[in-house]
Structure 1
Amino acid sequence: MFKSLAFVLRITLAWLLVVFLFAGLWSNLPLIGWIEWPVVVAGMLTMALVVAGALSHLGRVRLIAGRIDKEALANRQRRQVEIPFEAGEAFDLLDAAIRELPRIQHVESARDSLQVRAKVGRPDVQIERVGGRWNPLSWFGVPRNQILATVTPGHDSGSVTLICEPESPAWSDWFLVDDGSNFENAEAITRAISRRVGERRRGEKSEATQTATEKELTVAKLSLLHAQVEPHFLYNTLASAQLLARSDPPRADEMLGHLIQYLRHSLPRTDDETSTLGAELERAIAYLEILKIRMGARLSVQVDVPENLRATPLPPMMLQTLVENAIKHGLEPRTGGGTVWIRARRSDDEVAITVADDGDGFNAKTAGTGIGLKNVRERLRLRHGGRAALAVVANFPAGVAATLTVPADKAAQEVPHV
């Protein structure tokens, strides 16, 4: 109540000084200066309209803000809003929030300086005031507001300084009211920013949940792959070992040794633990050694993996998938067999691991379903984001070359999910 009374008294006294000044000037006019009643009537009518307009402003502010205090009654509003995004994203969000304001007339955006200036029309409240356009509170000044917003960059955030004020100069605040329009604009922009931040957070949370679900699904597929050693490979290997046990016991013993080594590396893990290039290479070599015994001279293997690269982090079963593809779709269909190459090289912070063959190449008759390669790409995406890739190209002069590119640094092996 005290703040409302103080506001009405302030604006009344300001206009009272104007009335006294006008009365003094009138009394010094020649011929008509002695006539006092026009000044008295005009002064009384002016003060009545000013008081009525001030009370109308109080009612409108109370309706908009739900309270009456110095901040809510002020014509010029200032807000400090923290946006938990980097400055560029914060600026885009702020610019969009300002452009959504009703009665927005002109917006100037300067992305390099992180500033937004705008002009906003006011609601036509002059008709609601007592006296309408004859009310002194509507006599001068520009019936339009302006907005100045600046983003200050911070550490992974942007701090927005928002100023909403009348377009008229500051001295006019002693005589004019903005009918709560700048308070309304400041609150609307703040709400719009909060809404957009909330939407972004919900989107990130939904994306993180979806990514986690995809990762769990991929891990489940990998566990199933570990648990289900390919039946026909296992049966064929055991059958071959049984035959060799009768005709060539040393080779049968060698085959069973490689099978044991292969199975040891194929046991299901308790989680999606990262393996190494060295461990995966041992599994792949054990697999190829078994096939060399079965296929004989039809299969040749060449391995060129430097010792210092064998500690490179590598998701389990990826190398094995590429080797199996080279055998099944490249060499097994060929009567004469062929060669499988496994090669690794480091370039800057990346390690490229290539499995190549000189088999049938991209032959529609021997092509598989592509599920294995799709699974490899999905697991690379979930684990490394965009820092890993799988490229499958034609080998020269025949066959296919598949290259895995993964980060060499252990600190970069996984992308954190939020």
Structure 2
Amino acid sequence: MIAAIFTTFRLVLVWFLVYLFFVISIGEAVRPGMNGYHWVEGLGVMGGFALALTVLSIACSHVLRVRLVAGRLDASALSARQRRQVEIPFEAGAAFDLVDAAIRELPGAQVVDSARDSLQVRAKVKRIDPYGGVARRARNQVLVTVTPNGEAGSALLVCEPERPAWTDWFLVDHGTNFENAEAIVRAITRRVAAARRGEQDSVRDTVAAKELAVARLNLLQAQVEPHFLYNTLANAQLLTRSDPPLADQMLGNLIQYLRHSLPRGGDGISTLGQEMERTRAYLDILKIRMGARLETQLQVDQTLHAHPFPAMMIQTLAENAIKHGLEPKPGGGNIWVFARVHGGTLSVTVADDGMGLTGNAGGSGIGLSNVRERLRLGYGDAASFVLTSNFPSGVAATINLPYQLPVEAAHA
């Protein structure tokens, strides 16, 4: 309240002094005793009262509106020149873009001059009479400077009338610059909150997508194992009646297969060595079923055994080669499994000399579809699956993954 009284008193006093100087100057021009002196004296007194009432009404109007807009009456709120320091939790470039957009949306913004290199924004804002709604010639101006502060930005905001500072002794802005400063701060705060919500939504979407991908990977993997286990146990049951030693050998291979199958994380990632042992046990079971019609060769360098590799994929390709390539072929054939590193890519190939890319051998079944889908979910564009014809007959299926150097090589 003291600030409001002081502001009102200051305006009345300054205008009174200016008017007094004007009256004295006129009085000196009209000498005493000359015609019109008393007329000038009376007119000066009446003009003084009129001026005092006008200035008092303007000052009271300014004070009441600032209290309405700001909710308080202090020197800071009553001032026509407003200053704000806003901390923005983004790097300086992003903070500048946010501030620039907030100022351009400010009501009445006419001229906006922004310089991204110097991180400054200047704007001219049309001042509207808060009571008559008529556009006035007087304008306010806004200056914002963004200062880099590590990973954040600090914005210095200045809102003031478009006139020299000394005129504040005579004129008021009816709280328009306070409104502009608060509006810009609100706009910046809202945009920061919207960006934070967007980041949180993105994180939630990423987590949800990862959980969905893991669930889909587990589902795709579960579609393969029960089928194989059912067939193996059914064959072992038949062999127990006709060839118990062979049934015992098949069950031993199944135990070996399960030993390498059960210790597996929920993300479906194993190692190349574990997958080779699993595939070897699987093929040994199939060799009992097919006898001399199946020959296998597995060649993977020992240094690649620790490399991460999706579970069940090599076995799926081997199963597909037998089902679509060798079982339909009279006399059976061979399966080769080998791995190689070229540049930054690890390639694992399962090849056969069976029926080739004819009929169902093209891989339209669930096995190869699962391989493609699991690679897409787990690696995106970083992995690929290639199915080509083998020479002179058969199919070669190759999985390409990003190669990860062993820990010892990475620190060498």
Give TM class, smaller chain.
0.7 to 0.9
Is the CA contact (8 Å cut-off) linking 1:61 and 1:67 kept in structure 2?
A: yes
1:74 counterpart = 2:79 = yes
Q: TM-score, with normalisation over the residues of structure 2?
A: 0.77
1:232-271 to 2 correspondences below 5 Å = 232-241=227-236, 255-267=250-262, 271=266
* Contact 1:361 1:395 (8 Å CA) reproduced: no
Partners of 1:306 and 1:344 within 8 A in 2:
no
CA distances 1:156-184 after superposition (whole Å, capped 9, x unpaired): 32222222222212222222212111111
Find the residue that maps to 1:67 and give its secondary structure: coil
Q: Cα deviation per residue 1:340-359 (whole Å; 9 max; x = unaligned)?
A: 54425385xx6635445465
- Aligned length in residues: 387
Within the candidate set 284, 294, 316, 1:324 is matched to 316
Residues 164 and 220 of structure 1, relative CA distance in 2, 3 Å threshold: same
Match of 1:60 in 2: 65
Q: 1:351/1:402 Cα in 2 relative to 1: closer, same or farther (>3 Å)?
A: closer
Aligned to 1:194: 189
94-103 or 32-41, larger mean C-alpha shift: 32-41
**What aligned pairs does 1:246-395 form with structure 2 within 5 A after superposition?**
255-267=250-262, 271-272=266-267, 275-291=270-286, 294=289, 300-305=296-301, 307=303, 309-314=304-309, 318-321=310-313, 323-325=315-317, 327-328=319-320, 332-334=323-325, 335=329, 339-345=335-341, 352-355=346-349, 357=351, 359-360=356-357, 366-368=363-365, 370-380=369-379, 389-395=382-388
Distance 1:107 1:337 in 2: 78
8 Å CA contact 1:284–1:319 kept in 2: the answer is no
Counterpart Cα distance in 1 of 2:397 and 2:84? 62
Name 2:104's counterpart in structure 1: 99
Contact 1:227 1:268 in 2 (8 A): no
Unpaired runs of 5+ residues, structure 1, are: 382-387, 411-418
* Alpha-carbon offset, residue 61 of structure 1: 1.0
Q: How is 1:127-166 mapped onto 2 (pairs within 5 angstroms)? A: 127=132, 143-166=138-161
Question: Against the structure 1 CA distance between its residues 237 and 197, is the aligned structure 2 distance closer, same or farther, given a 3 Å change threshold?
Answer: same
Distance in 1 (CA, whole Å) between partners of 2:51 and 2:131 is 15
Decide whether aligned partners of structure 1 residues 214 and 169 sit closer, same or farther in structure 2, where only a CA change above 3 A counts: same
Structure 1 CA distance, aligned partners of 2:268 and 2:403? Answer: 16
Return the offset for 1:249: 7.3
Change (3 A) 1:181 1:313: farther
Q: What is the DSSP-based 3-state SS (H/G/I as helix, E as strand, rest coil) of the residue aligned with 1:106?
A: strand
Q: Residue type of the partner of 1:392?
A: F
Q: Secondary structure at the match of 2:114?
A: strand
Q: Is residue 77–residue 165 contact of structure 1 (8 Å, CA) maintained in 2?
A: yes
In the TM superposition, residue 102 of structure 1 has moved relative to its aligned partner by 1.2
CA distance in 1, matches of 2:242, 2:401: 41
1:96 shift after superposition: 1.9
Aligned-residue identity in percent: 49
| Alignment match, 2:410 | none
The two structures, once aligned, show a CA RMSD in angstroms of 3.8
The change in CA–CA distance for 1:260 and 1:356 in structure 2 (over 3 A counts) is same
Distance in 2 (CA, whole Å) between partners of 1:160 and 1:405 is 44
Whole-angstrom distance in 1 between the partners of 2:2 and 2:406: 68
Cα distance change of structure 1 residues 146 and 368 upon mapping to structure 2, 3 Å threshold = farther
Note closer, same or farther for the CA distance 1:241–1:166 as it changes in structure 2 (3 Å cut): same
CA distance in 2, matches of 1:76, 1:176: 12
Residues 302/6 of structure 1: CA separation in 2 closer, same or farther (3 Å cut): same
**Aligned-partner SS, 1:266:** coil
In the alignment, which residue of structure 1 is the partner of 2:11? Answer: 11
Tell me how far apart the structure 2 counterparts of residues 120 and 190 of structure 1 sit (CA, whole Å).
16
| 1:206 to 1:371, Cα distance in 2 relative to 1, 3 A | farther
Q: TM-score, normalised by structure 1?
A: 0.76
Once residues 146 and 30 of structure 2 are traced to their aligned partners in structure 1, the CA distance between those partners, rounded to angstroms, is 58
Asked if structure 1 preserves the Cα contact closer than 8 Å seen for 2:339 and 2:349, the reply is: yes
Instruction: Report the secondary structure of 1:212's partner residue.
Output: helix
Amino acid at match of 1:173: D
Provide the C-alpha distance between the structure 1 equivalents of 2:386 and 2:265, rounded to a whole number of angstroms: 34
Distance 1:311 1:364, change over 3 A: closer
Structure 2 distance, partners of 1:365, 1:2, is 90
Contact 2:318 2:335 in 1 (8 A): no
- The answer (yes or no) to whether the contact 1:77–1:183 under 8 Å persists in 2 is yes
1:98 offset after TM fit, Å?
1.6
Structure 1 residue 56: deviation in Å? 0.7
Cα distance in 2 for residues equivalent to 1:356 and 1:151: 60
Stretches of structure 2 lacking an aligned partner (at least 5 in a row): 408-412
**1:114 alignment partner in structure 2:** 119
The C-alpha deviation readout for 1:175-202, integer Å capped at 9, x for no partner, is: 2212111111111111122222222222
What is the DSSP-based 3-state SS (H/G/I as helix, E as strand, rest coil) of the residue aligned with 2:150?
Answer: coil
Q: CA deviation at 1:326?
A: 6.2
CA contact (8 A) 1:362 1:400 kept: no
Distance in 1, matches of 2:318 and 2:235, equals: 21
Q: Given the superposition, is the C-alpha separation of residues 180 and 256 from structure 1 closer, same or farther in structure 2, using an over 3 Å criterion?
A: same
